[in-house]
Structure 1
Amino acid sequence: MKAYPSNYAKKRSVVSLAHVRQGPSQDPVCPGSFPRVSMKRGESPGDTGSEGQIRLGFCVLCGLPASGKSTLSRFLSDQLRRKQGWDVAVVTYDDIIPEAFLEGENAQVLPSQWKSFRHELLMYIEHFLMAIINGCKLSAPTLRTEVMWESFVDCLKNQSLISSGTGKTQGYCLTNAAPLKPLYLILDDNFYYQSMRYEVYQLARKYSSGFCQLFLDCPIESCLERNRQRSKPVPDDTIQLMARKIESPNIQKNAWEHNSLTVRSTGPCSDDNVEVIDLLITALKNPIRYFEENVEQKETDRIICSTNTLHQADQKFRRIISQTMKKAKDEKVSAYKLKRLAEELNKLKADFLEDLRQGNSKRISCFHQNSISDVIRLFHYERDNIVQKYIPNEY
């Protein structure tokens, strides 16, 4: 179903992207409010102030691959910078997350891994927000996927939001040391589940920011045709499956989605996207109130933190297993023993990850009091015990 913003008439709630100029991209395109709540530097997310306020906004672009999201994000960035005088950070998930897979073991990325990468990217965005709010350098999170973090930093550098001359160890300087103008974060991804968009809403609420959604409504036949023209097309089956599962904004069910707009990219039209820009302005002027005692938010933060830890551990376990299997092959271990060794090591990995997930393991007692390096050392120890059965002289 179509979603309509609460402060627009229904007849104005669907606009067209046909007139948006297409640049070099993978997304070709057929042509009474709440008081402002914003932060001063050094304040906690729930604090407010009247001077030196930092106004933040989040705009989530959602839709099928090749529905026109990249073209729309460029258009919005240009309009908000030139006509509104705002700072804009466009974060295109496909430009940042896939690079992290280079650290994998040639195995297909599981949905749980993809989900943890998304959570990790939100953590990077929050680090960027904290640097702006506190007027300090952007430093790298302790737990991070190095290639993915570097892609995120390049994304900010390319938009002149951080300095390109600073180093990793010292952190990255913001290009504007005293940001008094608004900053809009435009997140470009499929966001086909409501739960994916709700995570961004939670982050916007945590920092008393504006929040809105733009749902790109494009016929699947057009998406498939455009996608095939890309240098790295998404498989047709993936797009068709996503089309069956996609959850468009539903303001009748979810009050948090009331600032949503359906944007059609189907054919020529003379609209000037006033509705789109108006929605972003309205969202910025009406930020989400932050409630300090928010049990739901605390639980979400706990889950995100836990997921990031699981992702880091999973990567290290996979690397250890890969190195162990390579050593076993070099030692001319028989095919039968190699199979049994792989089965035992993968079971060990699964047991460790489940222990970390549950947090009440006998093997990993009081994990939150231990560093991840302690867990890896324990994994090495139990790995060695298994390997001794197949390569007795090795460990």
Structure 2
Amino acid sequence: MSACLLILIGLPGSGKTTLAGRLCAQLADIYHLVHVEYDAVIDLEEQVRLQAARAAGDDDDAWRAARRALEAAVEAMLTGGEVPADTLPAVLRQPVARPAGRPAGRPAVLIIDDNMYLRSMRYRFFQLARRLRLGFAQALLATPDAECRRRNATRCRPVPEAAIDAMAGRLERPQPARLWEARSVTLPADVDLNTEPADEERFAEAVSQLLEAELECSVTDA
């Protein structure tokens, strides 16, 4: 299957959704990009509740169930299975595995836009990639914690500070020395996608090269 998963990693407010939008605009002539935004899948108020509960050490089962639903929906998109109507927005309930589901000649890239601060979260998507013989790549947005908190505070429904603190304290950066994390790229902490267009273009090119390398081979080893 000519497809790749691109996992975005970063705290709330790090710029993941901004990056996904820029990649979809800049790389549209090369790839069929599908932006799977966790905020569009799980209601933000419910996310806030789950994140706050998990930060307090409660309701872990509900948090895991929400994540498993997203994983199952992504797999259904890739295999041509049925995606439950209440799991993904209509625009995302299109199979990308079938020729009719994507433009001819363009590999499909699913951008998984979530915090992904734990390696175990990302590894589950790697396992999916390995099972379906997809490419797998990661992009870390190393935005400083203070800037993430500042941006988060300007949102209509900000993520609780306790949840951000918990994520920041546990964030596990990709380790390219691990075989399954070899295809990883980091957006430096001093780059702001909203003010540095040249850096944005360079990073988009770095991501594109990463995807190209992954699409040339299959994921077979952990």
TM-score under structure 1 length normalisation: 0.47
Which one of 28, 33, 53 corresponds to residue 81 of structure 1?
Answer: 28
Distance 1:226 1:232 in 2: 11
Counterpart AA for 1:213: Q
| Secondary structure in 1 matching 2:82 | coil
Match of 2:139 among 214, 236, 245: 214
CA offset at residue 266 of structure 1? 2.9
Contact 1:68/1:265 (8 A) holds in 2: no
Tell me the residue number matched to 1:245.
170
Q: Which has the larger radius of gyration?
A: 1
Q: Does 1:71 align with 2:18?
A: yes
CA contact (8 A) 1:213 1:259 kept: yes
Distance (Å, rounded) in 2 between the aligned partners of 1:114 and 1:197: 15
Aligned to 1:278: 209
CA contact (8 A) 1:58 1:211 kept: yes
> In the aligned structure 2, how far is the partner of 1:117 from the partner of 1:81?
30
Choose the corresponding residue for 1:152, options 88, 102, 106.
88
Equivalence for 1:234: 159
Q: Is the 1:59–1:212 Cα contact (8 Å) retained in structure 2?
A: yes
Pick the structure with more strand per residue: 2
- For 2:11 and 2:132, the matched residues in 1 are separated by 29
Hey, what's the Cα distance between the residues in 2 that align with 1:217 and 1:121? 24
In the aligned structure 2, how far is the partner of 1:194 from the partner of 1:210?
A: 17
User: 1:123 aligns to what?
Assistant: 72
1:257 aligns with 2:181: yes
Matches within 5 A, 1:50-69: 54-69=1-16
Alignment of 1:179-328 (within 5 A): 180-252=105-177, 254-267=178-191, 269=196, 270-271=198-199, 272-273=202-203, 274-289=205-220
Contact 2:69–2:87 under 8 Å retained in 1: no
- Identity across matched positions, percent: 31
Distance of aligned partners of 1:207 and 1:100 in 2 relative to their CA distance in 1, 3 Å threshold: farther
Unaligned runs of 5+ in 2: none
Displacement after TM superposition at 1:155 (Å): 4.0
Give TM-score, length-normalised by structure 2.
Answer: 0.81
The answer for the alignment partner of 1:93 in structure 2 is 38
Q: Could you say what secondary structure the match of 2:112 adopts?
A: strand
Match of 2:82 in 1: 139
CA contact 2:4–2:136 (8 Å) conserved in 1: yes
Following TM superposition, by how much is the alpha carbon of 1:226 offset from its aligned partner in structure 2, in angstroms? 0.5
For 1:242 and 1:55, how far apart are their aligned partners in 2? 33
Flag the 1:115–1:283 CA change in 2: closer, same or farther, 3 A. Answer: same
CA deviation string 1:37-57 (max 9, x = no partner) = xxxxxxxxxxxxxxxxx4010
**CA RMSD, aligned part only?**
2.9
Does the residue aligned with 1:211 lie in a helix, a strand or coil?
A: strand
Q: Provide runs of 4+ in structure 1 moved above 6 Å.
A: none
Tell me by how many angstroms 1:101 deviates. 4.8
Question: Secondary structure at 1:59's aligned position in 2?
Answer: strand
Rounded to whole Å, the distance in 1 between the matches of 2:171 and 2:186 is: 14
CA deviations 1:209-260 (Å, max 9, x no partner) are 11000011011110011111111111122112211111001123x2210001
Relative CO higher for 1 or 2, CA cutoff 8 Å, sep ≥ 6? 2
